[in-house]
């Protein structure tokens, strides 16, 4: 197969000439092709067959132990000027970056196959979808892209119709951490990634295209590319509201996207549109509408069980690629908090020894098509996307942030988003419990200067009078002994329900300096083991702590200098005044 689009065939020829592969293969995106890729990888030991009776068509991939996570320090945004990339990104001059990458890529595919993967981010017939082509020498990447995106012949047809596409060149290279870089060239709509086979570094449709490059495109074209899950909440009367929610890593995004209503909210249904990325456009009526550009999930495995996320647990019983989990004696996949079975072999393939740490890597992953999610929304394929009723930001804060509050208006909501911060957990390396600023949960993913990004967010209120309300949640408040005050998981629906009632203007609120809070009686806590004091604690604002927080927020905003929108600073001043 090849293409009638010369911009594409010429580019593939140029990359092949430079990288010297033995073969070139154009992916078609058929099930049969996926089976062939799996068979080849079983032969080359890139995949290991798991117990096919217990886990049909499930396989395990073991990464190089130095290549198990995104590498933010090796990820660069190479805009023309350093100021355009902003203090939130690593920057290298485009010419120097390209030269370095060209040197790495020279002849790197000798003895390998070059896969051409045309893909479409978003439903194939959606005006909001955007396409890309990834060139890679990794069959694992091709197989994962099959599960995660709409790829192959149909995507190629759309690319030929559009006449344009994002270019992504990837090679696993030598998997040498010294020769590993993930480079973005937003002005050329180009990604070059070398030396890693790990998801976020290598599956270029996801973080590289759908967030870093797309956020840049979205700014020029007037839309938003966000690190947000999209979920539909259907009430017992059959009415559904859609929410888009941004949380930093380790705040339970996938769990929230697939939540199971608690018994006390029987009759409610949850529909998942996406668990990681939302592309949002204003329609002609000024309604914000979202699509999920992805078609699959690349989720963290440890902690997934029948209590924390029953839908995800069921979804990964078949047709799943596991990366870096442990295995049991029966050759079933195993991970910490699976609550079933015992590990026999750890994620590196060694006999499991508890003294050497976790059996599954803390960042071990599942890749699975979203079709297998029991709560997958039919509207995930709707070309026009879904109308968004509310945007929700959140973070992991032991103290300070109440369980829920609502921003007073759009501009205040943008400040709430820009102020998102979260405490680090044991799942990441480094100190635990340190507060990290992560505006809109986009710190690792915004492809341009955050100051310009906040200005872009603020500009939406000039274009629509019916923007969604903005909220902030914190499921992670703790008492002085370190016990969580709020039960979390499915019970979070009680809070989401208040959000919907606010959107429908069916419930009042209490005004506070930081925004609107629920009246105690408006969060339904029936059946929960929570006393009134705890609920009060969850919903109070401590002015002392907030004054300190506002100082930290201001210091953070000031790091972005003159470019920070005055309107954002004015929103900050308003809160400081209200607190004093
Ligand atoms: C992810 C992340 O993998 O945000 O989705 O790190
Ligand atoms: Mn993510």
- My answer on whether 207 and 230 are in the same domain is no
> Are 215 and 250 part of one and the same domain?
no
Burial of 369 (0-12, 13-18, 19+ CB in 10 A): middle
Is 122 part of any domain?
yes
Strand-strand pairing, 326-327 and 333-334? antiparallel
Q: What pLDDT score does 403 carry?
A: 98
Backbone dihedral region of 432: left (phi > 0), alpha (psi from -120 to 50 degrees) or beta? beta
> Is residue 251 annotated as a catalytic residue, yes or no?
yes
The reply to whether 62 falls in a domain is: no
Looking up residue 471, the CATH number of its domain turns out to be 3.90.228.20
Contact 505, 442 (CB under 8 A): no
Please indicate, yes or no, if residue 65 is contained in any of the structural domains: no
- Could you give the number of structural domains in the chain? 3
Per-residue pLDDT of the chain (580 residues), as tens digits, is: 689 999 999 999 999 999 999 999 999 999 999 999 999 999 999 999 999 999 999 999 999 999 999 999 999 999 999 999 999 999 999 999 999 999 999 999 999 999 999 999 999 999 999 999 999 999 999 999 999 999 999 999 999 999 999 999 999 999 999 999 999 999 999 999 999 999 999 999 999 999 999 999 999 999 999 999 999 999 999 999 999 999 998 898 999 999 999 988 989 999 999 999 999 999 999 999 999 999 999 999 999 999 999 999 999 999 999 999 999 999 999 999 999 999 999 999 999 999 999 999 999 999 999 999 999 999 999 999 999 999 999 999 999 999 999 999 999 999 999 999 999 876 555 677 889 999 999 999 999 999 999 999 999 999 999 999 999 999 999 999 999 999 999 999 999 999 999 999 999 999 999 999 999 999 999 999 999 999 999 999 999 999 999 999 999 999 999 999 999 999 999 999 999 9
Q: What is the reported pTM?
A: 0.97
Q: Taking the mean position of all CA atoms in its chain, how far away is CA 24?
A: 31
Rounded to whole angstroms, what are the CA distances from 484 to 189, 273, 488, 554? 44, 29, 9, 29
pLDDT confidence of residue 250: 82
pLDDT score, position 428: 55
Which of 304, 339, 372 is at the close of a domain?
372
Q: Residue 333: which CATH number?
A: 2.170.8.10
Residues pairing with 537 in the sheet: none
In 10 A of CB 216, how many CB atoms?
A: 24
The DSSP annotation for 31-65 comes to HHHHHHHHHHHHHTTSSEE--TTTSTT-EEE---T
Q: What is the CATH number of the domain that holds 27?
A: 3.40.449.10
Provide the token pair at 194.
């070398």
Burial class (CB within 10 angstroms; exposed 0-12, middle 13-18, buried 19+) of 507: middle
Residues with CB under 6 A from ligand 1: 70, 200, 249, 276
498 near 471, Cβ under 8 Å? no
Residue 472 lies in a domain: yes
For ligand 1, atom 1, the nearest C-alpha belongs to: 249
- d(CA 8, CA 131) in angstroms, rounded, equals 12
Q: Are residues 500 and 564 in the same domain?
A: yes
Residues 391, 396, 400, 402, Cα dihedral to 10°: 40
* Ligand lying closest to the C-alpha of residue 299: 1
pLDDT of residue 427: 55
Residue to probe by mutation, ligand 1, list 199, 201, 207, most atoms within 8 Å of CB? 207
Q: Are residues 261 and 328 in the same domain?
A: no
Output the pLDDT for position 471. 98
Residue 117, both tokens: 């993967």
399 in the same domain as 319: no
Query: Residue 523 is inside which H or E element, if any?
Result: none
Give the span between the Cα atoms of 330 and 542, in whole angstroms: 53
The confidence score (pLDDT) of residue 1 equals 61
Residue 64, in any domain of the structure: no
Q: Given the CA of residue 248, which atom of ligand 1 is nearest to it?
A: 4
- Give the residue from 191, 222, 253 where a domain finishes: 222
Specify if 60 maps to a domain. Answer: no
What are 239's two structure tokens? 């009415």
Give the domain extent around 17. 6-46+71-222
Atom of ligand 1 nearest to the CA of 227: 4
**Tell me, what's the pLDDT at 232?**
98
Could you give the CA distance from residue 55 to residue 43 in angstroms, rounded to a whole number? 19
């Amino acid at each position: 197969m090849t293409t009638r689009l010369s911009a594409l065939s010429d580019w593939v020829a140029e990359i092949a000439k430079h990288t010297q592969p033995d073969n070139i293969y154009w992916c078609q995106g058929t099930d049969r092709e996926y089976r062939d890729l799996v068979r080849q990888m079983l032969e080359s030991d890139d995949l290991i067959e798991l117990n096919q009776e217990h886990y049909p068509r499930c396989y395990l991939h073991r990464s190089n132990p130095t290549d198990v996570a995104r590498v933010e320090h090796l990820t660069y945004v190479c805009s023309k000027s350093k100021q355009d990339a902003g203090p939130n990104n690593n920057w290298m001059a485009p010419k120097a970056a390209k030269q370095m990458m060209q040197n790495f890529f020279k002849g790197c595919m000798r003895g390998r196959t070059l896969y051409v993967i045309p893909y479409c981010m978003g439903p194939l017939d959606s005006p909001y979808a955007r396409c890309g082509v990834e060139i890679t020498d990794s069959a694992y990447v091709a197989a994962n892209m099959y599960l995660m995106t709409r790829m192959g012949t149909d995507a190629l047809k759309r690319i030929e119709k559009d006449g344009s596409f994002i270019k992504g060149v990837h090679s696993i290279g030598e998997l040498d951490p010294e020769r590993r870089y993930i480079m973005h060239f937003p002005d050329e709509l180009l990604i070059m990634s070398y030396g890693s086979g790990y998801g976020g570094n290598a599956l270029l449709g996801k973080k590289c295209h759908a967030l870093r490059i797309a956020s840049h495109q979205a700014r020029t074209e007037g839309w938003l590319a966000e690190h947000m899950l999209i979920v539909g909440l259907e009430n017992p009367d059959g009415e559904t509201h859609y929410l888009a929610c941004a949380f930093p890593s380790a705040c339970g995004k996938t769990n929230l996207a697939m939540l199971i209503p608690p018994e006390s909210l029987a009759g409610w249904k949850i529909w998942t549109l996406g668990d990681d990325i939302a592309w949002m456009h204003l329609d002609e009526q000024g309604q914000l509408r979202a699509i999920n550009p992805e078609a699959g999930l690349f989720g963290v495995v440890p902690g997934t069980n029948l209590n924390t996320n029953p839908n995800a647990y069921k979804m990964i019983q078949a047709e799943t690629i596991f990366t870096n989990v442990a295995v049991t004696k029966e050759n079933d996949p195993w991970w910490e908090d699976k609550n079933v079975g015992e590990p026999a072999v750890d994620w590196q393939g060694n006999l499991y020894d508890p003294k050497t740490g976790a059996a599954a890597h803390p960042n071990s992953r599942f890749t699975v098509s979203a079709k297998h999610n029991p709560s997958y929304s039919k509207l995930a394929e709707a070309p026009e996307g879904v109308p968004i009723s509310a945007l929700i930001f959140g973070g992991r804060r032991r103290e300070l942030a109440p369980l829920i509050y609502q921003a007073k208006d759009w501009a205040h909501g943008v400040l709430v988003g820009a102020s998102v911060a979260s405490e680090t957990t044991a799942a990441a390396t480094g100190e635990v419990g340190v507060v990290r600023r992560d505006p809109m949960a986009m710190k690792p993913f915004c492809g341009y200067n955050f100051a310009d990004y906040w200005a872009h967010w603020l500009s939406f209120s000039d274009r629509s009078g019916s923007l969604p309300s903005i909220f902030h949640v914190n499921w992670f408040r703790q008492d002085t002994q370190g016990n969580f005050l709020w039960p979390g998981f499915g019970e979070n629906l009680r809070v989401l329900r208040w959000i919907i009632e606010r959107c429908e203007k069916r419930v009042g609120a209490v005004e506070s300096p930081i925004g609107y809070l629920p009246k105690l009686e408006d969060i339904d806590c029936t059946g929960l083991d929570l006393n009134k004091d705890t609920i009060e604690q969850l919903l109070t604002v401590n002015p002392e702590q907030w004054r300190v927080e506002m100082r930290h927020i201001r210091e953070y905003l000031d790091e972005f200098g003159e470019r920070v929108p005055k309107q954002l600073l004015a929103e900050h001043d308003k809160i400081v005044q209200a607190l004093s």
